Amino acid sequence: MLDFYQAKKEILNKKVLDEVDLAFDESALRVLAARYLLRDEKGMIIESPKQMFERIAILVACSDILHDERLYDINHRQIPKGPQYEPGRGMWSDIPAIGGYTLNRYHIEALERLFIELDTGYMKVRFFDVIDMIQRGEFDSYEARIKQYYDLMVSKDFLPNTPTLMNAGAPLGQLSACFVLDIKDDMAAIMDTAKDVAMIFKSGGGVGINYSTLRPEGDNVKSTSGVASGPISFMKVIDAVTGVVKQGGKRRGANMGIMNYNHPDIAKFINCKTTAGELENFNISVGTDTGFWEAVSEDRIYTLTNPRNGHVPGGLNATYILNLIAECAWKSAEPGLIFFDNINRLNPLITQKGPLNATNPCGEQSLYPYESCNLGSINLSNFVKDGQFEYERFDQVVKLCTRFLDNVIDVNKYPLERINTETKKTRRIGLGIMGLADALFKLDIPYNSEAGYTIMNRLAERLSWHSMQESSRLAKERGSYPLYDAQEFANHFPVAGAEGDEYWRYLKGLIAQYGIRNAWTTTIAPTGTLSMIAGCSSGVEPAFGLAFEKHVTVGKFIYLNEIFMEKLRTIDYLPEFMASIESKIVSNYGSCKGVDGIDYNTQKVFVTAMDIHWADHIYAEAVWQKWISNAIAKTINMPGAATVADVKRAYLIAHELGLKGITVYRDGSRAAQVLHVAGDKAHTTAQPSAAVKKALGALTVNEYVDEEIAQVFDSAPTPVMAIAGGSVIPYQVFEMTCSCGAQLARTDGCMSCKSCGWSACSSS
């Protein structure tokens, strides 16, 4: 008898599948097996997906248990006792369990670590008393909470970031995706930073560093009477470290290298990745502030500053630098831009800790030095039932996920003690979303439409409102983040859209009364790997394509978007048309737009990244950014025919719309032509939507910026695809290949593998 599940059994090395194995498709199980399921010393899989989700859920609930009022006193009235053991303690007669969930040694270690931290006046009992109470079943009521966390993940409603999936309840125990380090202008300090980078990569995280503190190339080195090699040379040191240290023993790490616009080496930095093979383990971005954009708008020279001594060695024309950034991004998709003025305008710690000046590898998470952040994403596609979005269920899931991520801070095993300390001063979390494109497909709403942007706005606001409300509730139960200052938080409230509305006034009053547990609560991360596990589209991106090629060990096959195919089946197309749909979509750049036989409404709703004008990509990100307290990882896709001027205009629009950063990817830049089809097809074009024209038309900045923005609408439509010489490239991928042999593509502003799920951004 034919075994329809044989492939799943082979992937998981199992003879019998359970309900969780059956709930995930083969692609998801391949990713879990390759990256997340625990293995023995011989490399054999020793846990199932069900066991993986259980070990995560148990660990996360450990924080809930230790904050139980029978153990924890929020008023800090207890005398510290320490986690002392009686003679012979450490081995218990029974393995501790919470109801039907058994704790392993790593769960108990996490309980002890957190207990030690809380036993500075908060704990009413000794640590071995906690274990005894667990063994007596006094905390079995928390079985329901563990089940809630477990169901969140197994249902694919929510998934935490990659390090949590890898390491929760496991030996490494490091759960955060994002880290930022500083680097001092001293050789010993630089090497110390390189060592810290290695430890973070070993634990499974990605690192961002602003290299603007290092003296420029050719500058004086007093100790040797020599000259400095400059920041870029030390970036190469970090790049080399990255190449030899795998994250969690499973993959290479990722870096964000940042240089501020006023560093003397800025022009060299902008060009540092235009040569193939240079700094391959880095994303790079230029840091800007209000001073730069004012100089751009006035087309004038700004001053450069040597970080070693504050000396001003000269200046550069701001428009020249912006054009140089745009030209390099046009050629190679880098550098990106970071808008530190927009970031710090809404920074509730600006007075106490100063401005933020670095981000994680994909730019969505700004952090202070040695601060980290754990991320997680809610699958919006799961909340569409019978053509309606389940808003109330979404609200409840947001609250539970907020508690989940706050608990992760407590039970995390940080790679460095300083990271543990700095992270818990702010308790920053990053709750985000994925599956937006699929949700809109199910709702029959075009991504780039007034209705689409209205849905995005509503979802983004609810995400932040309910996460902050739950964070305030957690503050009432457990206390605010240690650096919380009510006045400063109110003055620099981290959500741009939270003005004048009665619901936000209520929430601000709640926070003023009880405080807030997390300084920032929301982030939209790239979700390449998580999306493959959940079986949904990535982050806030539109669909990459309705059809694209996937590489697996047995060969290549074409993946068709199942929601799109289901739509076609409901319309009841003729069998011969359905039989040819794969080739029709593949030969049309993965899009259904303009395909003969597909009805107008379907073409309008099922848009892909390249069907959408780049200005709509920016506007979609701006709609989300209005409500997201951290930032957003998103690619601003441009067609191959886009110009350097288009890239520059994208930068101006993004800054004025309040984005905190921008990554532009022009189709064909740094890409190889991997598929060709014959045909004789006219140009297809993407034009800005009516919603974007309305928004940008109302934007009044200054004469220079206004004129540049006007050019977006005055110029001819930009070709998305053009057949030349009888052939067209349906989609393109990076020249680099993954360790599994498949080629890499840029999605969510991040290089990732559509085959095995590898992503250069550790948060995915």
Is residue 219 a contact partner of residue 308, using CB atoms and an 8 Å limit? yes
- Round to whole Å and give the CA distance between 606 and 261: 40
Is residue 234 a contact partner of residue 228, using CB atoms and an 8 Å limit? no
Phi and psi dihedrals of 384, rounded to 5? -100, 115
Is residue 369 a contact partner of residue 180, using CB atoms and an 8 Å limit? yes
Please write down the long-range contacts of 193-199, taking CB distance under 8 Å and 24 or more positions apart. 193/238, 194/237, 194/238, 194/241, 196/416, 197/238, 197/241, 197/242, 197/253, 197/255, 198/241, 198/245, 199/415, 199/416
Give the ranges where 479-541 is alpha helix by DSSP (H).
486-491, 502-514, 528-534
Please list, in sequence order, all residues whose beta carbon lies within 8 angstroms of the beta carbon of residue 237, skipping any fewer than 6 positions away.
190, 194
- Annotated catalytic, 362? yes
The bridge status of strand 336-339 relative to strand 661-666 is antiparallel
**Which of these is catalytic: 362, 373, 738, 750?**
362
Encoded tokens for 675: 């598929």
Q: Side chain identity at 246, as an amino acid letter?
A: K
Is residue 152 a contact partner of residue 401, using CB atoms and an 8 Å limit? yes
Encoded tokens for 317: 């024309």
Is residue 371 a contact partner of residue 426, using CB atoms and an 8 Å limit? yes
Assign residue 557 a region: left if phi > 0, alpha if psi is -120 to 50, beta otherwise?
beta
Angle at 764 between CA 114 and CA 469, to 5 degrees: 55
Q: On the CB side of 431, how many CA atoms lie within 13 Å of its CA?
A: 36
Residue 750's DSSP bridge partners are: 747
- Picking from 573, 648, 646, 566, the residue whose alpha carbon sits closest to that of residue 614 is 646
- Round to whole Å and give the CA distance between 584 and 599: 14
Residue 532, Cα to own-chain centre: how many angstroms?
A: 14
Q: Which H helix or E strand runs over 465?
A: helix 450-478
Q: Side chain identity at 715, as an amino acid letter?
A: S
- Annotated catalytic, 536? no
Is residue 611 a contact partner of residue 717, using CB atoms and an 8 Å limit? no
Angle at 28 between CA 22 and CA 31, to 5 degrees: 130
- Round to whole Å and give the CA distance between 34 and 93: 36
Angle at 374 between CA 368 and CA 376, to 5 degrees: 135
Is residue 343 a contact partner of residue 328, using CB atoms and an 8 Å limit? no
Other beta carbons less than 10 A from residue 304's beta carbon: 20
Residue 220's DSSP bridge partners are: 227
Q: Side chain identity at 197, as an amino acid letter?
A: V
- Round to whole Å and give the CA distance between 728 and 683: 11
**Which of these is catalytic: 255, 360, 588, 637?**
360
- Annotated catalytic, 601? no
- Round to whole Å and give the CA distance between 427 and 414: 13
Three-state DSSP string of 382-412:
HHEECCEECHHHHHHHHHHHHHHHHHHHHHC
- Round to whole Å and give the CA distance between 56 and 43: 21
**Which of these is catalytic: 54, 109, 364, 470?**
364
- Catalytically active residues, by annotation: 360, 362, 364
